[in-house]
Amino acid sequence: MSFAWNYSTAELNSAYDVFGYLLNGAFTQLTLNGITNQSGTTSFSVLTGDVFGFRQNTQDSLFGRASTTISNFNGPTAPASVPGPLPILGVGATFAYSRRLRRRINLAKSPVSTDSVAVEQL
């Protein structure tokens, strides 16, 4: 993962409006305390199944809120999708059902016998 960020706050001390990112619930602060306008670039590794997010937290909003702009974001790309066994089984089941349904439709279209049948023959 990599991204650029640009942060500004109206607070007198940026310690009251921190910005950073979350990785699997662990917060990493990117802003430095005491600087009201700052920017930087950040990069780190993620693994399949990791959960990532941004967090900006304010303690008092006394002089207003902070704002952060994220740019040049580059995240991991998903691997090419390969159909697993379930879609293939679904296609096979659909084909088998359609053949059975087609046979029932053809039987329904065939002529019906009008010969009488005794109850004993049933």
For 18, the enclosing helix (H) or strand (E) is: strand 17-23
Q: Would residue 33 count as lying in a domain? A: yes
In a domain, 42, yes or no: yes
pLDDT at residue 25 greater than cutoff 60: yes
Q: How high is the pLDDT of residue 3?
A: 94
Q: Which helix (H) or strand (E) holds 37?
A: strand 37-43
Is 122 among the domain residues? no
Question: 63 lies in a domain?
Answer: yes
Per-residue pLDDT at 93: 63
pLDDT at 106: 67
What's the pLDDT at 86? 57
pLDDT tens string 35-93:
888 999 999 999 988 998 999 888 877 777 888 999 999 987 766 555 556 566 666 66
Length of the chain: 122
Cβ atoms 72, 2 nearer than 8 A: yes
- Domain of residue 67: give its range: 2-74
What pLDDT is attached to residue 121? 54
Question: In total, how many domains does the chain have?
Answer: 1
